[in-house]
Amino acid sequence: MPENAPDYLAIGPRVGIRPFTYEDGAEFTARARESKDLHQPWLFPPVGADAYAAYAGRLIEDPTKAGFLVCELAHSPENVGDAPVGGSIAGFININNIVEGGFLCGALGYGAFAHAAGRGLMSEGLGLVVRHAFGKMRLHRLEINVQPGNAASIALARHCGFRLEGFSPDFIYMDGAWRDHERWAITAEMTRSR
């Protein structure tokens, strides 16, 4: 792999996933500002340097969280083979509220950036994160809580094999109000049976 290649945790045909770094702030916040119309009212990623530093710091430092950047793969012009080099950030996937012991579960949150939306990059990235979570992270269950009107997020959960488990009224406080959410989940056993 070339010297400038990021440390990907997993690589698919078009994307790789890697941890957040503080150095990603400028690109991440620029992409978040470009994607405001796509994200709101569902999602409010950081759009400024200080907010990104605090956000990334929680994902980097807190053992109950893990943050992954979904990056498009590019190929080095010197090496036309399969050696991926860093591409643009297509989106992000975070595992929050990681609980160990008998639960081995985490709650997913994610967002695509506008330039990557609708291209299947997040589906591929979510598949990589699920495999990483059930493999190296040794989790057993992942949950996604989605507001019922967020059709794109529900479609991504369904496409990646999550099952609808229920509906929770007034479940999460977002954007100034308690919001209803659908609960989607997948277990390690579900992925092995596919």
The answer to whether the bond into 41 is cis (omega within 30° of 0) is yes
Mean pLDDT of the chain: 91
pLDDT, tens only, 56-110: 999 999 999 999 999 999 854 444 455 555 689 999 999 999 999 999 999 999 9
Q: pTM of the full predicted structure?
A: 0.90
Query: Does the CA dihedral 139-18-165-106 come out positive or negative?
Result: positive
Backbone phi, psi, residue 164, to 5°: -75, 125
Residue 173: its pLDDT value, please?
A: 92
Residue 95: its pLDDT value, please?
A: 98
Query: How far are the Cα atoms of 39, 45, 67, 157 from residue 31, in angstroms, in the given order?
Result: 11, 10, 16, 22
Distance CA 69, CA 19 (A): 6
Residue 192: its pLDDT value, please?
A: 86
Of 12-16, 42-46, 160-164, 166-170, the least confident: 42-46
Distance CA 67, CA 59 (A): 5
Q: pLDDT > 90: what percent of the chain?
A: 82
Distance CA 87, CA 144 (A): 27
Q: Does pLDDT of 112 surpass 80?
A: yes
Length of the chain equals: 194
Of 14-18, 46-50, 80-84, 119-123, the least confident: 80-84
Residue 40: its pLDDT value, please?
A: 87
Q: At what angle do helices 25-34 and 49-61 cross, to 10 degrees?
A: 120
Residue 193: its pLDDT value, please?
A: 73
Q: Does pLDDT of 160 surpass 60?
A: yes
Of 39-43, 142-146, 168-172, 183-187, the least confident: 39-43
